[in-house]
Amino acid sequence: MIENAKILMLVAALASDGEITDPGFEDGEEGALSGAWTVEDAGFDPVEETGAVSVDDLMAIQGRSSLLMELDGQPVSVSQTLSMDDLGGQRLTLRGAIRTNSVEGQVALFASVEGGGRRLFFDDMSERAVAGSTPWTYHNIVIPPIAGAEKLTIGVRGLGAGRAWFDALSLRSSEPGTETSEAARAYLEEVLDIMEAQSLRRAEVDWTALRSSVTKAARGAETPVDVHPAIRYALTLLDDPRSGLMAASMDSWRTQDVSIGSVRQPVGRLIERRFGYVVLEGFQGELDSPDAQRAAGLVKHKFAEMADRLACGWILDLRAVEDGDMWPVLAGLGALYDQTEVGACAAPDGEREVWWVRDDEAGTGGDARVAATLGTQMPFDTSKQRSIAVLTSARTAGAGEAIALSLAGQSNVRRFGETTAGQATSAGAISLSDGSTLMLTRCTMEDRDGRTYPGGIPADEPMDAGPALQAAVEWLRSQEICQGDLIP
């Protein structure tokens, strides 16, 4: 979630007995990670260079060093998996220490369990991640006993900008209790009832089997908080990455005090002095906050700034946009649309909410969700539609897919890259009895012509994400509006 769609993941290499190899990042040489860690590049270059990952010998909570992430780069993932053969039937706790300095975004632990060719459990602390400047603090992820678990991936991740340190990772196992309290049982039933009644894919789920598996995973729970890992397991079984649980006791994006100054203008530049290239990102925060309006205004301002320098076509880079809110971006892009209604979200019961963009505002029905309030007007003739290239990747999801979908069907738009992640859905917030919030996917996004994309939004020019930018440039060169020497 959060700023700049710059993500970094580090995953511990694990021995067969479940012990983390090099948990304190002390086995490497001369500031480098040891061979227990594998770093992989995302495969494309939105604008900036890859963020630095190193071992810091001057900072540690335990031992002599820690892992340092300098988050100012492109998406990178580093992974290693563990067989669950020796860990089946146990409750696992991933524990690790995190310290941050001026992080605009989030850093966190994460854990993923797979079995039978599908993901069975995933927790990346998205609703309780760390941001800002914080001292060394230990964080935990509890993984419930999961039937059919085969592989476990654990690690730490960073998203946004700033510096973060990680140290003292551990994986602990324990036998679950045999009795579940009445309070915990009632809470679990409350959540499962809501999921069965309101989730988008409710008709596709074997609820008897799901309830049985999740009830076993919650065995031994005494309080609602103890049930949360089992609820995350249930949400994963829905095969719906947009749903999630935000615990009442955790600081999340809903409650973080983010200053106006932390909302940054999108990264962009002119290519060949005439093509405006902009890396977009989903907004992270409350839509009724001043930050949302400013974020929309900054998107609008970035395009106005380059249009004033005689850009004749646009390249919108959505390749790394995996999450966030679409509304400030839609409002900021207002002048690029050729009609007011740009999409919709349809529920299984037939209810349909139409998205509209007009007069620097974006909303649905009679409700304006956000307005671009920076005050800068697009200084070009919008009746002369410029060609728009949209770059996508298999990572493009959430707000990224919504933005791509809002432009689908527009005659001057062409998509380049990979088919998107197939998560073009929208989630709503439901308050639970313990004060937590259940984010549950309830409708499927549609483009302006009513098309849905359950398998992802395909590119008009399919190719790997890496060369998509160059292909977009070549297409823009061929467009009539971009012919000739536009720069005096």
Distance of CA 446 to the CA centre of its chain: 20
Q: Binning pLDDT at 50, 70 and 90, where does residue 417 land? A: very high
Q: Which of 45, 290, 253, 40 is nearest to 130 (CA)?
A: 253
Q: What is the mean pLDDT of residues 262-271?
A: 78
* pLDDT on residue 1: 38
User: Are 131 and 188 members of one domain?
Assistant: no
User: Are 222 and 351 members of one domain?
Assistant: no
Tell me whether residue 247 is in a domain: no
Pick from 39-53, 128-142, 205-219, 233-247: least confident: 39-53
- Which two tokens mark 109? 């632990």
Q: Tell me which residue range forms the domain holding 209.
A: 182-237
User: Are 408 and 458 members of one domain?
Assistant: yes
Tell me whether residue 386 is in a domain: yes
- Between CA 210 and CA 384 the distance in angstroms is 54
Cα-based distances in Å from 96 to 106, 118, 169:
15, 26, 4
Q: Contact, 220 vs 178, CB < 8 A?
A: yes
User: Are 278 and 407 members of one domain?
Assistant: yes
Q: Return all residues near 366 (Cβ < 8 A) that are at least 6 apart.
A: none
Q: Contact, 416 vs 472, CB < 8 A?
A: yes
- Between CA 110 and CA 97 the distance in angstroms is 13
User: Are 210 and 280 members of one domain?
Assistant: no
What total number of domains does the chain contain? 3
Tell me whether residue 198 is in a domain: yes
Tell me whether residue 62 is in a domain: yes
Phi, psi dihedral angles at 117 (to 5 degrees): 80, 15
- Between CA 427 and CA 399 the distance in angstroms is 12
Q: What is the mean pLDDT of residues 295-304?
A: 87
Check which CATH number belongs to the domain holding 321 and give it: 3.90.226.10
Tell me whether residue 217 is in a domain: yes
DSSP 334: G
User: Are 15 and 156 members of one domain?
Assistant: yes
Task: Please check the confidence at residue 199 and state whether its pLDDT lies above 50.
Answer: yes
User: Are 165 and 220 members of one domain?
Assistant: no
Strand partners, 155: 11, 110
First to last CA, the chain: 42
Tell me whether residue 320 is in a domain: yes
| Chain length of the chain | 488
User: Are 169 and 206 members of one domain?
Assistant: no
Q: What is the mean pLDDT of residues 415-433?
A: 92
User: Are 282 and 398 members of one domain?
Assistant: yes
- Which two tokens mark 31? 């500031």
- Between CA 330 and CA 207 the distance in angstroms is 37
Q: Contact, 148 vs 116, CB < 8 A?
A: yes
Q: Contact, 353 vs 360, CB < 8 A?
A: no
Q: Binning pLDDT at 50, 70 and 90, where does residue 405 land? A: very high
- Which two tokens mark 412? 């001057």
For residue 31, which amino acid is it?
A: G
Tell me whether residue 23 is in a domain: yes
User: Are 425 and 458 members of one domain?
Assistant: yes
Q: Binning pLDDT at 50, 70 and 90, where does residue 251 land? A: very low
- Which two tokens mark 173? 């196992």
User: Are 132 and 231 members of one domain?
Assistant: no
Task: Please check the confidence at residue 7 and state whether its pLDDT lies above 60.
Answer: no
* pLDDT on residue 41: 55
User: Are 164 and 284 members of one domain?
Assistant: no
Task: Please check the confidence at residue 255 and state whether its pLDDT lies above 80.
Answer: no
Check which CATH number belongs to the domain holding 24 and give it: 2.60.120.260
Tell me whether residue 252 is in a domain: no
Return mean pLDDT, the chain.
83
